[in-house]
Chains A and B, each alone.
Chain A
Amino acid sequence: MDFTLSKEQLLLQKMARDYAEKFIEPIARQIDEENKIPQEIIEGLGELELFGIPFPEEYGGADAGYDGYTLVMEQISKVSGGVAMTIAAHTLGLGAIRSFGTEEQKKKYLPAGCKGKEIASFAFTEPGTGSDPKQLSSIAVKEGDYFILNGTKRFISNANYPGPMVIFAKEMESGEVTAFILEKWTEGYSISEPWEKVGHRGGILVDVYMKDIKIPAENLLGKVGQGFPILLLGIALGKIGTSTAALGATLAAYEEGVKYAREKTHRDKPIAKFQAIQLKIADLAIKYETSRWLCYRLGCLANNIKDPAQFAREAALTKAYAGDVVVEAAHIAMDVHGSYGLMKDYKVERILRDALIGPQIEGVSDMQRMIIAGAALR
């Protein structure tokens, strides 16, 4: 067991940190306030290949593995949760195509996606369900060489950008949950205004309306009725993204807490000299380090998944922990700041809002615990 990072991994981390500090940090507040990521950032991320980190070179990916992906995501998310979520939702969508797509599908969608020319989505959630596939109400009806899709998807990340969307619907002939690759903005596709969410702003979240969308039969992902396993593995891989998005905010909370404790003085002493503050700093460090190593471990495990159910358990555990801990850490950092932390002039205000997203997405924390308990009590 060796917990050191290789030179390549350190450089990957540094590259993401350099890009984030130089290009994203100066406009992070603007991204948050306008709920919009400037196109230059999407292009910049694309040039550095950050939309294709874990995917094989033969499909245009950067081949840095999911461990490389965790290192990059942490640094991007430290600066902007919204930018991190855009990468995460994209990688989730492309990841499902990579795991379950045919050779033709992979050749068709991965290269443009890996370069960031197209941004992918993954659409499961509906107004009636966020955790339970049995309650899906979107439907797909086979007609000749096409499937006709109808329904509404809720809270779908990146659905505004052109590119492939992995979408789940009930195939009517079999009555089974089935996955398809839908090209966004084809006829019959429309979206709502972006949701005004509390955190991860800039990461676009909309509802998707499907009205008689014709999907060619070759865009079936996997087989009819295979939607459930695709969903399980897809979302398990997706939890690397949501966990590391939470991790980045945990690191930001830690750094901001330490910085403020050193800067702010009371009776001519920095507040870092007070033991009550020191205990908080220690808690921040503990929360960051534990979350970090769980996240890195999940990235390593994802590079070589032998048993999808086992991996789903590890992903649920990591996501439950990283998602819960980021909120605690952001709160502690807020406490170190006192009232100043409530002001938009201090970063911790945004960090706390970003943190609140962690426990609620890709299955709320309780759902993660059900997966963990299910595996333990099997």
Chain B
Amino acid sequence: MNIVVAMKQIPDLQQIRIRNREPVLDAVPLTLGNIDKNALEAAVAFKESHGGKVTVLSAGSEDLEDTIKEALAAGADEAFLVLDDELDGADSEAIAGILGAALNRIEDKDLIIFGEGSGDNYSGQVGPRVAEILGIPLVTYASSIEINDKTAKVVRSLEDCEEIIELTLPAAVSVLAGINEPRIPSVTQILKAGKKPKEILEMDDLGLALAEKQVITLSNLAPESERKQILLKSADELVKALSSQSLIGR
């Protein structure tokens, strides 16, 4: 069983400061998407119990060579990277095209796991687009995955119901953050991450060029927050006030 996990390089959200409602990205270290880490954990846990191999796939700027060590420390066996400094800001369509082309180069892939949305833009498009490009079945919002030889049974958690879906492999699944708790790697796993095999390609190698962006971000502002300065005298009053605004007890 070979599992490919698609992970996106993003700025470490915990270290971003907001100044005049704009995120300050200078000198913010890069990391991998938070839900992508759940996707990786699902793959690694499966490998540990059933054997197989986990390949992490990512497209991004040159820094990715370093950033990807996080995934290799957390249990991926090898990395497949497409590097181009333009890629960090590319839109979902472009990235899906690149990942699709890269996946066509990876033989033996039974399952491709995505995070349900990236940590920064959260458009949730890349997984479905890649599945379409490869012509394989896709299940989104997975809260558990069970794999049996040639099929997978996936629980799909929707807002007010759960669907249980069986699909034939190879297939793609995008997972929810709640599917698991990513592990903390040990010292040796961290130190050996850089020594694991990496295949590095550039856009030319895939015969691709970055198309003109279809999506242009006009502005990216933090929501304005204002203290309401409401003074309440008891817990009861607080509960009433919060539920009257539908903030609790929905």
Contacts and interface: CB of A to CB of B under 8 A. Distances in A.
Interface in A10-64: 10-12, 15, 18-19, 22, 47-50, 52-53, 57, 62-64
Given A8-B193, A18-B184, A22-B184, 14 more contacts: A7-B67, A7-B69, A8-B191, A11-B70, A15-B184, A15-B186, A15-B187, A15-B190, A19-B184, A49-B187, A50-B187, A53-B187, A64-B187, A68-B187
Contacts of A63: 188, 191
Nearest to B65: A7
A8 B188 CA distance: 10
A328 B66 CA distance: 38
A77 B67 CA distance: 27
Contacts of A72: 187
Interface residues of B, number: 15
Contacts of A8: 69, 190-191, 193-194
Contacts of B171: none
A261 to B, nearest CB: 16
Give the dominant DSSP class at A's interface.
Answer: helix
B29 A62 contact: no
A63 B184 CA distance: 18
Nearest to A13: B190
Contact of A48 (B29, B66, B186): B186
A311 B187 CA distance: 26
Contacts of B67: 7
A51 B184 CA distance: 16
B99 interface: no
A234 to B, nearest CB: 22
B73 interface: yes
B141 to A, nearest CB: 26
Interface in A336-373: none
A52 B186 CA distance: 11
B137 interface: no
Contact of B187 (A10, A18, A22, A62): A62
Contacts of A48: 184-187
A7 B31 CA distance: 10
Contacts of B69: 7-8, 11
B194 A49 contact: no
A83 to B, nearest CB: 15
A47 B183 CA distance: 11
Contact of A15 (B66, B185, B194): B185
16 contacts: A7-B69, A8-B190, A8-B193, A8-B194, A19-B184, A48-B185, A49-B187, A49-B188, A50-B187, A53-B187, A57-B188, A63-B188, A63-B191, A64-B190, A64-B191, A72-B187
A339 to B, nearest CB: 23
Interface in B151-188: 184-188
Contacts of B66: 7
B162 to A, nearest CB: 28
A229 B67 CA distance: 43
B187 A12 contact: yes
